[in-house]
A and B are shown apart, each in its own frame.
Chain A
Amino acid sequence: MIDEDVAEYTLDRAAGKDSPVLTEVKLESTRKSQISIKSGEVHSVSSSTDSGMYVRVVMKTGIGFASANRISKQTGADLARRAVRLAKAGKRKERVRLSSEKASVADWSVSQRQKLADVSNDDRLSYLKSVDSEMMSSRVKVLGRFFEEADSETYGYFASSEGSRVRSMVPRLRMFCLNTVLSNGETEQSMREWGSTGGWERTAEWAAGAALAEEMVVLKELIEKGKSVKPGEYDLICGPEVAGIAAHESCGHPMEGDRILGREMSQAGKSFVKPKMLGDKIGSKHATVIDDPTVPGSYGYYKYDDEGVKAGPRFLYKKGVINEFLHNRETAGKLRLKSNASSRSSVYDKEPIVRMANTFVAPGNIGEDEMIRSVKNGVFMKSFTEWNIDDKRYNQKYTSREAYFVKNGKLAGPARGCVLEITTPRFWGSLDGVSKKVEFNAAECGKGDPMQGIAVFTGGPMLRLRGVHLK
């Protein structure tokens, strides 16, 4: 267990050094297990326990961050001394301004019915083999067949010089797989991920084997019967997976306060969104995108962020209007707003920065079948493979994995390699209908330098875009 006295001792040691505006100490201990199989056989097995701490010191002259892979009072004192020195070295002309927030004292955790710590590697292997076996019951020829399961339990203790004391325990698990379908000498590929917070019981909820078996058949049909889309204007129905990636890439990222203010300018980039654009129109009235860390069981779940601020839903785009940026205390302070608990650090040796959690398009009132029936000449892009977006988050591309032509309200055969290459306002401005049922997908979001991969959900219902250019 974590020796929380180390945090108190470290705060005391930092307090006497040049009067920082704020000192934060995070202690963290994580147990991890991982197993992978390739073509049905074990490929790798690993496990580890990692404990460490960081000290972040905010001074008027800058911010200093120091971490070490050990937890002790001596380490805390050393890190405090170093973080103060680094904060002083910043020599900023413009002083760091943090938003004022109420200190939190809390103890939160995610419950597990089947504790991850009690799962054996044989259990993990049996699970992966069962998914592989169920997928192969499709009798489709699949190459590679790589499956990896990884799970962790992270104990954290956050303490700040302002009085926050937050104890947490987060169990998290994921399964990732790579599969290549071969037919007629051609291939189609699938990379899928499932993830949750909670215990081993989540693996059953994923129903990954059945989903993959169905997908292998679909990809085989795509190779054998799929046709290219003739470039032109179509109505497009996006499945929840495509809605989710669009919500993440062209709403969540451009609405991150640190991008908007330029702090990520040399890596992940800036944003087409500027501070003065709050309240501006970005899409149709159907475009409401929410980021909510508190979705129960979600992969990106948390109750308090890494600055001790209590989390809740953030309405980023609301009825087509730029409504709320994602903020930590630094970005909120700069704009004289309040933090909305978006500060996350992927692990104790990384600086907490502005991050998404679970970003999704809000549901509407159209039935899924009704939405298909409403399209005369279009494409239903259920899922995607290749995607990317520019660093101002304005020009994006989604290439279909599973897609179908829609003719007179009915699915009319598989469409292969359908490409949507579109601007952000055009995407959200073309949205004229949203279905009822929201579905989520797990993903790892990358940002920061050094890179911090962090657990998120992307999600949404089905979206109907009118008159967009497909190729």
Chain B
Amino acid sequence: MSGLKEKASELVDVALEEGAKDVAVEVFDTSIDQIRFSNSMIDISNHWSELHAHVFVAVAGRTMASGVRDLRKGAGTVRLIVKHARASPVNKDYGGIASGRFKYKRSQVDKRIQSLRNPAKFVLDAIDGAVSTGAPDVGGTFFVRNSKWGIASSKGAFAEDGNASMDLSVRAFTQPEASGQAVLVATNLDKMRARKTGVRAAELAVSAKNPVPGEEGRFDLVMEPFFLGGIVGATGGMASALAVELGMSMFTKKMGKRVASEAVTLVDDPMTRSMSRRMFDHEGKPARRNVVIEKGVLKTYLHNTSTAKRMKKKSTASTGPMVATQFSMPSEPMMFHPVLVGGDMKVDEMIADVRDGLYINNTWYTRFQNYSTGDFSTIPRDAVLRIRNGEIVGAVKNVRVSDNLMRFWKNMDALSKSNEEIYWWDEAAPPAHLPTARSRKMNITRSS
């Protein structure tokens, strides 16, 4: 469907006619194909096709956000939303939506992805790549995502955007406890190298063969971009001004202070070409590049209009979806596309300079004992390789990183020049451009 911003604008008008003061409507048109595979076979092919809207209204100090799932009944539903808003309690937290005469950049998509007809081919290539590299047991997911969205608001937003991307995740096993995992995200059909992704996962699985129980103690960690995906996601979540207000951030009262080593610069760059690229936030404010941590120093929290007003700052155009998702509160400020700026080292150099450490492929289940202090643990998975005196000497298993997140960033002393876009499931999320990095003397624990 085209004309999404026009449809959004029609619904804005309906809400205004009903007496709403502020209105923002976002209309989404998505088509997603997914193939899931395991045991080196395709299990299921899924298809989702949706046209729906998010509507936010404010009337007489009261607010209401709602999903409009059936746009055929859009006008009637919007009238009902305004009615419900009037009947709702006053929202003193509300500080308005973005207002202005906005100019938007245009984005382009690879139309070949939109018209892709045989996604199973990529999956079979990935499986073949892994199996032929020595990993007989292969699983994963392959997504082809096509989406368009248009926004209109009562305060000047009127824009349309879209994206087309593919993301492939491959996990390969050489033994029951020896696996490797690799992902590839592409917004250009020519860059979808499915077989190579399968080969990479299998190479890691081969290197992870015959793992022995890991030791407890302090070790230097050399971490693939995949590992960093979840850690950067958690860190980005704490940069949200809402997280700070809720006591769910280690960045509280740290503005302008050192929160990481000088090697670390963390940016939210929604406009970089990626699977999460967007040209405006969910209030319709044009997207911008936000430097959150610069050379180790905290430079800004991420704001929507309301959090900015409460903290006497300006919005950073970081408003998340106006309707709650599985992983976000309504309009929660968020990172759209984190970029951890690369350094000047090669991965081999980073390993060569480690006397006693681990090279880690992936992690999952990152959980916090206390968000305000950053005490956490995470469980390395897939290839976890032992480094001794600058060389990889074997594989280990059953270890956990149990430390503090700010210490993790402060102990980061090296980042690779190269980076890649990472996204996997809801662990390495949101999609991010990340290098390989090294943190010194991190605490490793294991089960008794």
Contact = CB atoms under 8 A, between A and B. Distances in A.
A87 B140 CA distance: 18
B41 to A, nearest CB: 5
Contacts of B375: 386
A89 B123 CA distance: 12
Contact of B89 (A42, A92, A390): A42
Given A69-B50, A178-B247, A187-B370, A89 B38 contact: no
Contact of A34 (B62, B139, B324): B324
Interface in B317-376: 323-324, 326, 329-331, 364-373, 375-376
A60 to B, nearest CB: 13
B329 A90 contact: no
Contacts of A64: 44-47
Contacts of B181: 266
B448 A421 contact: yes
Interface in A37-59: 38, 41-52
Interface stretch (A3-11, A118-126, A303-311): A118-126
A66 interface: yes
A298 interface: no
B330 to A, nearest CB: 4
A87 B170 contact: no
A172 to B, nearest CB: 16
A90 B425 contact: no
B29 to A, nearest CB: 11
Contacts of B43: 62-63, 90, 263
Interface in A189-224: 189
Interface residues of A, number: 86
Nearest to B43: A263
B45 A385 contact: no
B446 interface: yes
A404 B211 CA distance: 37
A349 interface: yes
A45 B67 contact: no
A163 interface: no
A52 to B, nearest CB: 7
B240 interface: no
A262 B247 contact: no
Contacts of A351: 44, 46
Contacts of A468: 448
B67 A266 contact: no
Contacts of B41: 90, 92-94
Contact of A388 (B47, B370, B378): B378
Nearest to A330: B43
B448 A122 contact: no
A417 to B, nearest CB: 7
B69 A69 contact: yes
A144 B247 contact: yes
A89 B398 contact: no
Nearest to A45: B88
Given A44-B330, A68-B49, A267-B425, A62 B63 contact: no
B311 interface: no
Interface stretch (B90-98, B105-113, B288-296): B90-98
Contacts of A391: 364-365, 379, 381
B46 A395 contact: no
A86 interface: yes
Contacts of A90: 41-45, 120
Contacts of A417: 369
A188 interface: yes
A36 interface: yes
B28 to A, nearest CB: 10
A66 B49 CA distance: 8
A266 B247 contact: no
B212 interface: no
A66 B64 CA distance: 31
A86 B47 contact: yes
B63 A45 contact: yes
Contact of B379 (A43, A262, A267, A395): A395
A109 B50 CA distance: 29
A264 interface: yes
B247 A180 contact: yes
A121 B46 contact: no
A453 B426 CA distance: 12
A441 interface: no
A178 B248 contact: yes
Interface string A93-113: 110000000000000000000
A65 interface: yes
- The CB with the most chain B CB atoms within 10 A, among A43, A67, A94, A471, is that of A43
- The CB with the most chain A CB atoms within 10 A, among B81, B89, B124, B426, is that of B89
B377 interface: yes
A376 interface: no
Given A42-B92, A46-B330, A65 B46 contact: yes
Contacts of B366: 388
B89 A122 contact: yes
Interface string B287-312: 00000000000000000000000000
A410 interface: no
A405 interface: no
A429 B226 CA distance: 35
Contact of B141 (A68, A187, A267, A270): A267
Interface in B209-254: 245-248
A87 B447 contact: no
- The CB with the most chain B CB atoms within 10 A, among A90, A351, A387, is that of A90
A213 B82 CA distance: 36
Nearest 9 pairs between A and B by C-beta?
A469-B448, A180-B247, A86-B45, A388-B365, A265-B139, A266-B171, A144-B247, A386-B369, A266-B139
Given A69-B51, A122-B89, 16 more contacts: A43-B91, A45-B65, A50-B67, A62-B44, A62-B45, A66-B48, A178-B247, A187-B370, A266-B170, A270-B176, A385-B370, A386-B375, A397-B377, A421-B448, A450-B34, A451-B426
Interface of A: 34-36, 38, 41-52, 62-70, 82-83, 86-87, 89-94, 120-122, 125, 143-144, 146, 148, 178, 180, 187-189, 261-267, 269-270, 349, 351, 385-392, 394-397, 399, 417, 419, 421-423, 426, 446, 449-451, 453, 468-469, 471
Interface of B: 34, 36, 38-39, 41-52, 62-70, 72, 77, 81, 84-85, 87-93, 120, 124, 137, 139-141, 169-171, 173, 176-177, 181, 245-248, 323-324, 326, 329-331, 364-373, 375-379, 381, 398, 400, 402, 425-426, 445-448
